[in-house]
Amino acid sequence: MSTDRTRNLLELLIKVNREVASALDLRTVLQRLLFAAMQNVGGERGSIVVLNDLGKPVDATIVYGSTFHEQSTQQLRETVERGLAGWVVSNRQPVLVPDTSKDERWLRRADDANEQSGAKSAICVPLLARDKLVGVLTLVHSVPNAFNDEHLELMTAIADQASIAVLNARLYTESQRTARVMSALAESAAAINKSLEMQDVLRHILNQAMQALQVETVGLALVDPNGDLVFRASAGQNSGNIMDKRIPAGVGLAGKVILEGRGIVVQNVKQDSAFSAEDRFGGIQMRAVVIAPIQSHQKVIGIIEAINPTSGTFDADATLVLAGLGSLAGTTIENARMLEKMQDAHHHYRELFEDSIDPIFITDWAGKIIEANRQAVAFCGFTIEQLHSMSMDQMHEVSWSKVGTDFEVLRAGKDVSYESVLLKQDGGKSPVEIHLRRVEFEESDSLQWILRNITERKELDDLRDDMIHMIYHDLRSPLANIVSSIDMLNVMVEQDASVLAMLQIAAHSTGRIQRLISSLLDISRLESAQRIIVQKPILASDLIAEAMRDVSPSITGRHQTLVTNMIGKPPLLWVDLDMTHRVIINLLENASKFTLSDGKIELGGEVEGEWFKMWVRDNGPGILPSDRERIFEKFTRVHGKERASGLGIGLSFCRLAIQAHGGKIWVESEPGKGSTFWFTLPISDKAQTGKLLRQTGRLELKEFGNIP
Ligand code: ADP
């Protein structure tokens, strides 16, 4: 190479370098480089494709004469995958094609039709910066053999000089883009979070999407419980057609975005097979779309769709921006949903509060009334204004023993109930049951007082007491008279067997009436938790013998057999004699009543630790598993095939009586084969017996027939 030529070349390279490196914007750098190449090397047409670190084309500049052309990403991909540029990318070597018609590597494109006029010559060189391939530059001359090795050499020299500038410009553009996306998202985040009302949130998201992507129309769909996508908001041209549109789960491009959880861009919907008829909206001529998932807590809850960019094609970062918006939107939509739920719950509480049939007061922790529902106002007679200046303890006596000093029991999160009397505005008083609990009321930590008017219940209690009183005095004493009269008659008519038999029947029946009355009385007294049992020692064998004596006549009369089964030495029990006697009689009578003639009944007992475990076994119809607990409830009668008479209070008395002794009663049964009622009675300890002996000087082991 001559010195002149060398100097010229150097001058040229310095000039090109100065021109190219003085710009930072990638497009400008590419255009300047391409012009310099065409001016100094030759050719009518040229292109530069820029590659990213992964070797994927990210930008390109194409010049025909003096005009620039844009190329789609798809076209760029084709260029570097196939064709001459593709060869250079894979071989990282410059190439000279003197005659394109004779070179296999030359790619003929459909849109090159006008160029098919004939053979051309071409030069293609890699742009290598610090051993990194940053792009390929191609020059095309319309005449074959117009380029030679010298041109190739010159082009390579220019490329070597300019590559670093291309790399810098690419990096600069990338950082600019990242910054743009970041600031767009930051701006959007602020705008989207302005409100938490669902409709506002959706509107803000769509506005941001429209602004960031510069599109004609946007839509937002959420996944409904069936998995279908339903469009909930839209904005822009013809957006009315989008609202409420439903796309079945997994269908079309939208379905694909949901399934894959990542955004998709389609620059030309006509050329994309994934874009289905379901993805279309009536009245909108769809050309290009970006769809991004809306994600919340790693779950896709919907999509945002941006339709038809005003510039014609979407920028490379469109998916990135929309996906970013999608994740921002996800959290905000979830928050808006939570708010809606909370508002609903609050509204619901308000309704319940107002519609409750019970009076409800809400107070602060000093008991000052903040709110009272309609029923509360009506019940106490004060106006709501008066109530607002009152506290709960002005209307009733707070049970401080229950709620604790300064409501500490409620502060610990426990609910409290107690009975009290409400002083009304008119001076009247009503008995009330108060249910007190800690609640959140209109965002403040409050106390909720639900009052239940128990006037009626109190009246019923009084009535019951009157009834018990009546039974006690008005029925029991005449009955006792009848019993003693029958006893006397027994002595008087000693000789007359037929009269004696009649008297025995009368004695037996009055005995049953007496037991029934006593059980009724006991039930009501045991239920009101009165301690009514009077425990004394008795030998288990005596208790059993006494029961056998009372029920054997009627059992043998029904042609049933009654046997006892005492295992081990009979212990001394510590029980209310009359009550336990009635329990055993009840169980034996039931066993007899529900078992057919010829049945077998067994009364047994065995010591088990500190308890004497007894049983009454029959071979009757048995009891269904579903009834085994129920039969111990008051007035429960289970009707089998045969209808036996009874009130359904026997077993509930038995349970209350046994429990009053600290024992347990339960039934085991095999339907069709019989039932066994088990119960436990306390065994007397020496101390108890000793104490009684010291008090009375004797041990009364038998004390039947004296109804207390
Ligand atoms: P009543 O005998 O007055 O009906 P109970 O409380 O004594 O009331 O018994 C409740 C129900 O339990 C009876 O109606 C009966 O259906 C069932 N039951 C009680 N004992 C037996 C038993 N030994 N065999 C079968 N069913 C029984």
Helices (H) and strands (E) in the chain, counts: 19, 24
Cβ atoms of 438 and 445 within 8 Å: the answer is: yes
Q: What is the mean pLDDT of residues 391-406?
A: 93
Which long-range contacts (C-beta less than 8 Å, at least 24 apart) are formed by 326-330? 326/263, 326/292, 326/293, 326/294, 326/295, 327/294, 327/295, 328/185, 328/188, 328/189, 328/192, 328/205, 329/192, 329/201, 329/205, 329/220, 329/294, 329/304, 330/294, 330/295, 330/296, 330/297, 330/301
638 CA: nearest ligand 1 atom: 16
631 lines ligand 1 (CB under 6 A): yes
pLDDT digits (tens, 9 = 90+) for 672-695: 899 999 999 999 987 766 666 666
Residue 698: band (very low, low, confident or very high) from pLDDT cuts 50, 70, 90: low
**Per-residue pLDDT, 370:** 94
Confidence (pLDDT) at 703: 45
On average, the pLDDT of the chain sits at 86
Alpha carbon of 469 to ligand 1 centroid (Å)? 28
Place of tokens 């809606």: 340
Provide Rg for the chain, Cα atoms: 50
| Structure confidence at residue 530 (pLDDT) | 73
Is the entire prediction scored with pTM above 0.85?
no
Q: What is the pLDDT of residues 635-683, one digit of tens each?
A: 767 765 444 566 677 898 999 999 999 999 999 998 889 999 999 999 9
d(CA 380, CA 383) in angstroms, rounded, equals 9
Provide the token pair at 214: 């510069």
pLDDT tens for 355-372 read: 899 999 999 999 999 999
Task: Give the residue whose CA is nearest to atom 11 of ligand 1.
Answer: 637
Look at residues 313, 336, 699 and name the one whose alpha carbon lies nearest to residue 542: 699
Q: Is the pLDDT of residue 132 over 70?
A: yes
Q: How far is the CA of 581 from the centre of ligand 1 (A)?
A: 18
The single-letter DSSP state of residue 661 is T
Tokens describing residue 623: 């009891």
Q: Which numbered atom of ligand 1 lies nearest the CA of 652?
A: 6
Enumerate the H helices of 272-371 as residue ranges: 318-355
647 lines ligand 1 (CB under 6 A): yes
How many angstroms does the Cα of residue 474 sit away from the middle of ligand 1? 29
Task: Please tell me the predicted confidence (pLDDT) of residue 696.
Answer: 61
Pairing of strands 95-97, 121-129: antiparallel
Place of tokens 């006509």: 270
Q: From atom 19 of ligand 1, which residue's Cα is the shortest distance away? A: 590
Return the ligand 1 atom nearest residue 648 CA.
8
Structure tokens belonging to residue 673: 């084969």
Output the CA angle 468-455-518, nearest 5 degrees: 15
Reported as a single tens digit per residue, the pLDDT across 418-452 is 999 999 999 999 999 999 999 988 778 999 999 99
- Per-residue pLDDT, 113: 45
**Residues 318, 319, 322, 325, CA torsion sign:** negative
Bridge partners (DSSP) listed for residue 247: 229
Whether the per-residue pLDDT at 588 is higher than 70: the answer is yes
pLDDT at 24 exceeding the cut of 80: yes
Q: Report the separation in Å between the CA atom of 648 and the middle of ligand 1, taken as the mean of its atom positions.
A: 7
Q: DSSP labels for 601-617?
A: EEEEEEEETTEEEEEEE
Any atom of ligand 1 within 6 Å of the Cβ of 293: no
Q: What spacing in Å lies between the alpha carbon of 650 and ligand 1's midpoint?
A: 8
Rounded CA-CA distance 40/699 in Å is: 135
pLDDT, tens digit, for every residue of 530-576?
A: 777 889 999 999 999 999 988 988 898 889 999 999 999 999 999 99
User: Ligand 1 mean position to 588 CA, how many Å?
Assistant: 11
Handedness of CA 189, 195, 198, 203 (dihedral sign): negative
Residue 701 has pLDDT above 60, yes or no: no
How far is the C-alpha of 29 from the C-alpha of 165, rounded, in Å?
7
C-beta separation of 662 from 682 below 8 A? yes
CA of 651 to the centre of ligand 1 (A): 7
Q: How confident is the model at residue 608 (pLDDT cuts 50, 70, 90)?
A: very high
Render the burial of 124-147: b for 16+ CB within 10 Å, e for the rest.
bbbbbbeeebbbbbbbbbeebebb
Tokens coding 10? 């150097």
